Amino acid sequence: MNELSLEERLIKLIKDMREDQHKKLLSYIESQQAGYRKYPRKEVSIATAYVVQDEIYTDFIKNISAGGVYITTRKSQSVGDEISMNFMLTGHKRPIRVFGKVVRLSTNGFAVKFIEALDPHASVTHDARLPDVHTGSPRQRDIIIEAKICNHYTVKVLVSCKRYVRPVNIQHIDAFNGELISSSAHKGVIYSYSGFTKNAIKKCQALGISCCQLFQNKTGTIPATLTLFNTFCCSIKAVMEVFKPLDPEWRIHQWKDLYALKNPGDSETMLDSLVVAFDKCEKVSLADKNSRSFPEPKGMSFKLENSDPSIGALEFQIRCLWRVYRGEWDASLINGS
């Protein structure tokens, strides 16, 4: 009879074990592998608020690394659940918000692996030539990084490298801000060999530009937090405007009175006509939009005649407007060089 291989013997032994022995063996193996983790872990006790499947929880982070965290809790989650969490780290003025996925469960908590912030296929272009958004002419840029946040939101980062004898001053920041606007980038980062003046740093903080100083034969300083600005077109609204004062003979006191009116010989109410007109305005506005701008307001005029010719006509218009919001992302460095 052939002797069993080492692997076969292990499989046989494990199959013959009880469930409690399986758990002890798994715990022992994981503890032995802790020294071989991709990222070193730090024991902490940090309060965190997190969201899983639209439910909000509050617990404590037991340990943290560049790759994830372990949360102690008696609340049950499932492997594969996506999680959004907020917590504070020493030296950070703002709460850090990160996204992750539950990868392991235990009797007193669960492990979360961070979802990569940037698309692993992010492109970095040196000495790029991009069209100026105002003139269309190609302009030279030191570095352009194009990536996605959480594999969803596209961002463009403009990086400028300054090797001046003196520190970068506020005039240099003004010039870089112009480059940032004309390149349509969402974020600006400046690297300088000679540092920055105090007013230049204040200006960058006000504009959301990150300042990084480079050191000869040393690792360059990377900002702990990158604030990424983006503009989102979130919603649409309708605006009604009357062109001239209403003739009192119409006996219109509220908008609902206007909506209920009909043109002579027409079966549709003004509300029906307005809904159709608004839909057309929205479609035209979206059709005319280009890839670098938001939809423009569009309108349609109406004239409503009274069956009595002596009563002046009603003239008004409906306009399709867009609410535009500016959003902000904070990308925080947990570990790196």
Beta bridge partners of 326: 231
Eight-state DSSP code of residue 221:
P
**Helices 170-182 & 198-207, crossing angle to 10 degrees?**
20
**At residue 14, what is the residue type?**
I
Q: Which residues of the chain have pLDDT under 50?
A: 1, 219-220, 334-337
Domain coordinates in residue numbering, the chain = 38-114, 123-223, 232-327
Q: Which two tokens stand for residue 194?
A: 């000679």
Q: Of 230, 240, 101, which is closest to residue 156 (Cα–Cα)?
A: 230
pLDDT of residue 23: 78
Q: What is the pLDDT of residue 213?
A: 74
Strand partners, 19: none
Q: What is the number of alpha carbons within 13 Å of residue 323 lying toward its C-beta? A: 8
Q: Write the burial class of residue 85 (CB in 10 Å: 0-12 exposed, 13-18 middle, 19+ buried).
A: buried
Radius of gyration of the chain (CA): 31
Contact call for residues 158 and 143 (beta carbons, < 8 A): yes
The pLDDT score that the predictor gives to residue 30 is 65
Please give the structure tokens belonging to residue 242.
């009357």
CATH topology of domain 38-114: Thrombin, subunit H (2.40.10)
Residue 188 half-sphere exposure, CB side, CA atoms within 13 Å?
24
What are the CB-based long-range contacts (under 8 Å, 24+) for 282-288? 282/236, 282/320, 285/320, 285/322
Q: How many C-beta atoms lie closer than 10 Å to residue 11's C-beta?
A: 12
In whole angstroms, give the CA distance from residue 38 to residue 93: 28
CA 199 to chain centroid: 29
Where does 123-223 sit in CATH, by number?
3.40.1350.10
Cα gap 269→291, rounded to integer Å: 37
Q: Which residues pair with 226 in a beta bridge?
A: 331
**pLDDT tens digits for range 214-253:** 655 554 455 555 565 555 655 677 777 776 667 777 787 7
Is the pTM of the predicted complex or chain greater than 0.85?
Answer: no
CA dist., res. 200 & res. 165, Å (int): 16
**What integer pLDDT is reported at residue 219 of this predicted model?**
47
- Nearest Cα neighbor of 281 from 314, 243, 236 is 236
What's the pLDDT at 1? Answer: 47
**CA nearest 204: which of 225, 231, 230, 184?**
225
Q: What CA–CA distance (Å, rounded) separates 110 from 72? A: 7
3-state secondary structure of 166: coil
Place of tokens 């008004």: 316
CA distances from 216 to 192, 193, 213, 220 (A): 11, 8, 10, 9
